[in-house]
Amino acid sequence: MIDFQKVKQRMDKIVELFSTDIASIRTGRATPGLIENVVVSVYGGQKMKLVELGSIGVPDVRSLTFQPWDEAAIREISNGIAAANVGLTPAIDGQLIRMNLPMLTSEQREEYIKLLGRKLEAARVMTRDARADFRKGLQDAKQDKTISEDEFKRDEVELQKTTDQYIGKLEEIAKKKEVEVRG
C-alpha cells in the first residue's frame, strides 16, 4: 500500500521548488522574486539573502527598491547586488537602494523561455523520479506478498494519475510564466 499523503507531500515540494526557482526568471515586470534570493556578503563576509536583510518594494512595474533593516550595511548590500549579475544596477538613494529594470530584448525573452523549458523538464524529471521511488516500494510489497496483485495494479494506476496531475500543475505554472515573459 502506498501512502498517497506522502506522495502528494513530496510532489507538492517539487511544485513549490519549481515555483520558487522560476520566480527569478525575468519578465517585463518587476517582482520581489527577482532579487529576494540574491546572496550578498555583509558584516565582514557573512553570506545572507536579501530577504533576510531588509524589505523589497515594487514602486512600479519597471523598478524595485530595497530598504535594509541595518543602514550601516547599505553599501555592502548595494555592491553585493551589483556583483550578483542579475541585470540590475543598484543606486543608493538615502536609506533605499533603487534598481530599474531595463527593457527585455526579444532575444532575452527567447533565452528566458528556453531557460523556463529546461527548468520545467527538470521538475518533470524530479516528479517522475518520485513516482519511480514510490512504485519501487509497491513492487517490493508485491514481491514480499504484503499486497495482492489487484492492490498493486490499483495503487499503480492511482500513482500514475497523481503523477500526471502534478506534471499538469507544473506545466500550468510554466505556461503562466511564459505568458509573463512574452509580455
Q: Are 81 and 132 in the same domain? A: no
Predicted local distance difference test score (pLDDT) of residue 25? 81
Residue after which a domain boundary falls, among 72, 100, 128? 100
Q: Are 9 and 63 in the same domain? A: no
Query: Quick one: pLDDT band at residue 98, thresholds 50, 70, 90?
Result: very high
Q: State which amino acid sits at residue 94.
A: G
Helix axes of 4-22 and 106-143: crossing angle, nearest 10 degrees: 170
CATH number assigned to the domain comprising residue 133: 1.10.132.20
What does the pLDDT average to over 103-121? Answer: 91
Q: Are 113 and 166 in the same domain? A: yes
Please, what is the Cα angle at 54 between 51 and 60, to 5 degrees? 85
Q: In the chain, how many domains are there?
A: 2
Please, what is the Cα angle at 110 between 56 and 57, to 5 degrees? 10
Residue after which a domain boundary falls, among 59, 78, 100? 100
pTM above 0.75, yes or no: no
What does the pLDDT average to over 98-124? Answer: 91
What does the pLDDT average to over 9-21? Answer: 94
- The pLDDT > 70 percentage for the chain reads 100
Q: Are 126 and 140 in the same domain? A: yes
Q: Are 43 and 84 in the same domain? A: yes
Q: Are 92 and 124 in the same domain? A: no
Predicted local distance difference test score (pLDDT) of residue 87? 78
CA distance 51 to 31: 13
CATH number assigned to the domain comprising residue 64: 3.30.1360.40
At residue 105, the 3 state secondary structure works out as coil
Asked whether residue 24 carries a pLDDT value surpassing 80, the answer given is: no
Domain that holds residue 133: 4-23+105-182
Predicted local distance difference test score (pLDDT) of residue 74? 92
If you average pLDDT over every residue of the chain, what do you get?
90
What does the pLDDT average to over 11-22? Answer: 93
